[in-house]
Structure 1
């Protein structure tokens, strides 16, 4: 591995959208604005699945979209990635987050992570860009990276020899907000530009949004922490926090003097609560590991978050960031939506 002298600048998004943003910036003008305005949390109680965007971020100009491709072996995968790189000058690949050579310490998990490949050297090495940054509960961390990997290093990085868990498979499927069909072979996966558009409809049983989604999320998180954590709710909530912080920062920077003092304070209050969320998640997870689950902490946090989101939602909606949401009810009633 060889590291560039200048690292990429992180925009503060999740392990899927951080490098998707880098891809889209070159492919679709205005994509940063699109990403910020797309932020929405939807939850399907029946499966515990999450969707983080209210539009299909894989849809591209000219009736094209990003779709998954897969291969059972490294030779076919590298040939497929090279072909897409030759066509478009960049390609997103699905990498193993726990195998990144530029990690400091250990990652929390081996999970799918999008990386941007944007070139090759005359020697055949692969140039990668990863703007993602994170602190892990294990004590490890990840900083932005740009540099080259040998073919052997790159092949090892994108290999999932035992395939994906059901949670990770669903997360890949919904990474862009709405379902994108996974490939037949998932040992190696990458994305290509293809014809057509992804339908913007969430599948299956009813989905919750707004305050109802946050109420349901609190229940899912408490149950996951009291169990074995296999549903991966923590990871989705960390991603939701990053997305909502990105949304609010974009709104506050763009709206400027158009916001009244009260409107700005309402948005800043949601920002503060989303910024606190990862710290609460770490505390709740560590407490659960010690046999001292904190369901009241989780419930209280998400109740307060739902109230702040409802209070700020007219401001968000007035500037094109989603629709107004109802305040949470005393009975905690859920409004179910299909997408």
Structure 2
């Protein structure tokens, strides 16, 4: 493995979206703004699924989109990835987060993780970029990576020999905000450009947004912590926090002096609460594992966040970053959702 310096396309996004940003920024101008303006949290109260973007990020200019490809064996996968690399100059591939050779220590889980393949060497090595950075509860960490892997190293990080869990399949399908069909084979997966566009419609429904989504997130998290945490709700909430911090940082930088002092204070307060949320919930999760659940800590954190988000929603709407969804959410709640 040979490494090069790397500069993330954006800062602090989730393990999916950070490298979607790398791909999109190389593909088309204005992608960073598109990502920031797409941020929203939607939760399906029936399945407990999360969607983090209000537009299909896999839709590309010119009536094209990214779609999943899959292969049951390494040879077929490497051939398919190489063909897409030759056509487009870069490929998003699905890697095992626990098998990345640039991890320091151990990851929290073996889970799908997008990385960008953006080159080959004459001797057949693969050049990869992974802009994601994180500290894990296990004590491990990950810094942005750019470098070359041998064919054997590359193949090892792509393999999911036992397939994916249902939670991981759902996250893959919704990684771009709206469902992208899974491939027939999931041992090895990557994405390829194709004709067509993805419909911006969530399955089932209605999904909760705004304060109702935050309330449902609290309920789902408490239920998950009371069981075996197999749904990984804490990871979904962590991703939402990263996205919302990114959203407000982008808004603040883009608006600049146009923001009134009280608007800036409202955004700063919302950002601070989103940034604090994972730490608060991790403490609650550790307490639950020790047999001392703290439901009021969890519900209180989400309630405070919902209030701050509602206060800041007119600012977001005025600058094109979404609108308040509290009235619709309340209406749905009254109907028994």
- Give the alignment of 1:250-265 within 5 angstroms: 250-265=250-265
Instruction: Tell me the CA shift for residue 232 of structure 1.
Output: 1.0
Instruction: Tell me the CA shift for residue 285 of structure 1.
Output: 1.2
Q: Is 1:7 the counterpart of 2:6 in the alignment?
A: yes
Distance 2:54 2:205 in 1: 17
Specify the alignment match of 2:158 in structure 1: 158
Aligned residue-pair number: 335
- Give the alignment of 1:1-339 within 5 angstroms: 1-4=1-4, 6-9=5-8, 11-326=11-326, 334=333
Distance 2:313 2:328 in 1: 13
Distance 1:7 1:293 in 2: 41
Instruction: Tell me the CA shift for residue 138 of structure 1.
Output: 0.5
Distance 1:332 1:276 in 2: 30
Instruction: Tell me the CA shift for residue 281 of structure 1.
Output: 1.9
- The answer to whether the Cα contact below 8 Å between 2:71 and 2:187 also exists between their aligned partners in 1 is yes
Distance 2:293 2:159 in 1: 35
**Change in 2 beyond 3 A, CA 1:229/1:84:** same
- The answer to whether the Cα contact below 8 Å between 1:306 and 1:327 also exists between their aligned partners in 2 is no
Instruction: Tell me the CA shift for residue 12 of structure 1.
Output: 1.2
CA shift digits 1:99-139 (9 cap, x unpaired): 00010110000000000000011110000000000000001
Distance 2:132 2:83 in 1: 25
Instruction: Tell me the CA shift for residue 333 of structure 1.
Output: 6.8
**Change in 2 beyond 3 A, CA 1:18/1:143:** same
Distance 1:236 1:309 in 2: 18
- The answer to whether the Cα contact below 8 Å between 1:307 and 1:327 also exists between their aligned partners in 2 is no
Distance 2:158 2:284 in 1: 32
Distance 1:212 1:280 in 2: 20
TM-score with structure 2 setting the length: 0.97
- The answer to whether the Cα contact below 8 Å between 1:306 and 1:328 also exists between their aligned partners in 2 is no
**Change in 2 beyond 3 A, CA 1:128/1:34:** same
SS of residue paired to 1:229: coil
Q: Tell me how large the CA RMSD over aligned residues is.
A: 1.7
CA shift digits 1:222-267 (9 cap, x unpaired): 0101110111101111100000000000000010111111111111
- The answer to whether the Cα contact below 8 Å between 1:53 and 1:176 also exists between their aligned partners in 2 is yes
CA shift digits 1:201-223 (9 cap, x unpaired): 00113210000000010000001
Distance 1:76 1:225 in 2: 40
- The answer to whether the Cα contact below 8 Å between 2:212 and 2:326 also exists between their aligned partners in 1 is no
**Change in 2 beyond 3 A, CA 1:52/1:109:** same
Distance 1:335 1:114 in 2: 39
Instruction: Tell me the CA shift for residue 332 of structure 1.
Output: 10
Distance 2:154 2:312 in 1: 44
SS of residue paired to 1:334: helix
SS of residue paired to 2:148: strand
Distance 1:144 1:232 in 2: 24
Distance 2:199 2:112 in 1: 23
Distance 2:334 2:309 in 1: 16
